[in-house]
Structure formats: structure tokens, C-alpha cells
Amino acid sequence: MAGKKLRFALFGKAFQDDKSTAIRRILDSLREREAEVYVHRAFYDYLTKVLNMEIGADGVFDGYDVEVDYALSIGGDGTFLKAASLVGSRQTPIMGVNTGRLGFLADVLPAEVGQALGEIYEGRVRIEGHTMIRLETDGEPIEGNPCALNDIAVLKRDMASMISIRACVNGEYLVTYQADGLIVSTPTGSTAYNLSNGGPIMVPSDRNLCITPVAPHSLNIRPIVVRDDARIELEVESRSHNFLVAIDGRSEKLVEGTRLTVSKAPYEVKMVKRLNQRYFSTLREKMMWGADQR
């Protein structure tokens, strides 16, 4: 470990007042290893102005204009998704520290940070590549990042009646969904919105995507799994003449007639996993998967 200088970018959820001790522990662990620390401005402002912490950061950044070796996401899975949208294209490996609730992506507990950082310095971690998907539109441009680590969903607006979504895969007509929405999920996102709508769990190493309807108005429509190199084209009709598209939960309004194409992004998100972390044990522990309460 001696002589090894590593640089870390820190992203965090603001407004986690009761987590200040955990955040302090993370910062102290980084300082002990003489790491260079760069903090995302929104998180830096929260730490210094709201929690009145002395950070001693080596730099503060707004977008993602820093050169670092690793990124640390401090919060829950939502914080991790936001970090991934910024660092993914730069291929910076992200470690998620869970100060939230469930923490499926943010899977390192604050008490384990010192040990996990030691494993990073010793090279005893696994770097996993996770598929991202990208949304393209033929009409209105998407304002934010068009790429998602978890899912891209097409949804009806507010109290509007169901929408009609004509779906094609690789140019071949699939079906027209009459539903409240449609989710295209990656394996990483299969345990999120996809699962709550009856979609299957897909192991992250699988090279698949799942197309899952939200509240379909037919009993014979089921989720379908396709290869992740597929091009999924969607056309939406709505009585309100507009609809929402949510990219990892960031929603934007689009007008009826906008043609949407969902396909694999040109890069993967790199995740830092400890060697003792196993996917199926995480499923059992975090999601009570397979638990028999009888």
C-alpha cells in the first residue's frame, strides 16, 4: 500500500443529517491513506454549509471534469444512478457506500469502508462491467443524459388514460401494448422497477434486456427478454397527446408521435465489487428472495 497514490471522486446524497458520522468515517479513511479527494459541488456545499464539516478536499467539481482512479457514491441506489450517469462514459469504477435503505447498487456499509478501501489499494477487488442502455428520439431532443444503468420507461402522464405503445425489435413488429407504460430494463435494473411490475430477475452478467408492461390491459401480455444488442423501437399514442419517458427515474415529457429507439449504450458502467460479494446471497439478504415466512 505504501507509496500508492489514488484519486477519488465523491458523490453523495444531500439531506442525510443522521449520516454525518458515517460520512466523516469515509473521509477519515481516505485521509489515512493519503488519497486525493475531489467532491461533487452539490455534495461539497451540503457537507460544508449544512453539516459544517471541514472537508479539506483537493478539489471541487461541477460536471465530471476531474481525472480520478475511482468514484465513491455515498447514499442509496438513487445516488449511485446519478453518479453512474456522470462517470459511466469515462469508465471510472464506482464503489457504492450505502447510507440509504435497501442499497442494491450501493452495497458497502459505512462500517466496512476502511476495509473496502484497503482492498482497493491492494488490488483485491473485482471490477464488473454493467450494460447501459441509451434512448434516441427522432423528434424532440432529450435534455439530460440519454443513458440509463437500470431502465428506460415510457409512461402515461398523471391521470391520463392508458397509452398505446407499438413495439418493434430489430425492425420486426412485436406487439402493441395497451398499458400504463412500458419498461426496458437492463440486468442491473431487473431488480428495480422491472421486478415490481412482474418482470424477471436477470443476472448482471447476462447479455439481455427485458421489455415489461406497466399495468397492461390484457392478461396475455407478459414480459419478454431479448438480447442486449437488439434495437427496440417504440411509437406511442395517447389521448392527452403527450407522455413521459423516464431514464433511470429522470422523467421528461415528450409529444405523441415521437419515435423512440432504445439500444445498448457504447460503454458500460464499471462497478467495484468486493471479492466476498456474491450476487445470489445479495438477492437473499437484501430482497428476502426465497425466504419462507411460514
Number of neighbours of residue 76 by Cβ within 10 angstroms: 21
* 146 and 181 co-located in one domain: yes
Helical axes 113-121 vs 20-32, angle rounded to 10°:
30
| CATH number where 228 lies | 2.60.200.30
* 81 and 198 co-located in one domain: no
- Please check whether residue 54 is in contact with residue 65, taking contact to mean a CB–CB distance below 8 angstroms: no
- Residue 47 located in a structural domain: yes
* 97 and 152 co-located in one domain: no
- Residue 284 located in a structural domain: no
pTM, rounded to two decimals? 0.91
pLDDT 10s per residue in the chain (294 long)?
Answer: 445 799 999 999 877 667 788 888 899 999 999 999 999 999 999 999 888 888 889 999 988 888 999 999 999 899 999 999 999 888 999 999 988 776 778 888 888 999 999 999 999 999 999 999 999 999 778 888 999 999 999 999 877 688 999 999 999 999 999 999 999 999 999 999 999 999 999 998 889 999 999 999 988 999 999 999 999 999 999 888 889 999 999 999 999 888 999 999 999 999 999 988 777 777 777 677 777 777
- Residue 67 located in a structural domain: yes
- Residue 168 located in a structural domain: yes
Q: Is the alpha carbon torsion for 273, 276, 282, 285 positive or negative?
A: negative
| Domain span at 258 | 132-266
* 106 and 161 co-located in one domain: no
Number of neighbours of residue 101 by Cβ within 10 angstroms: 8
Strand partners, 167: 175, 234
- Residue 282 located in a structural domain: no
Strands (E), the chain: 7-12, 36-40, 59-61, 70-75, 94-98, 125-137, 147-148, 151-155, 163-169, 172-179, 181-185, 208-214, 224-227, 232-237, 242-247, 250-255, 259-274
Please say if 17 is a catalytic residue: no
* 150 and 214 co-located in one domain: yes
Distance CA(60)–CA(41), nearest Å, equals 6
* 140 and 245 co-located in one domain: yes
Distance CA(195)–CA(147), nearest Å, equals 20
The tally of domains found in the chain comes to: 2
> Of residues 17, 45, 65, 77, which has the active-site annotation?
77
Joined grid coordinates for residue 225: 427478454
* 94 and 164 co-located in one domain: no
* 112 and 87 co-located in one domain: yes
Number of neighbours of residue 111 by Cβ within 10 angstroms: 9
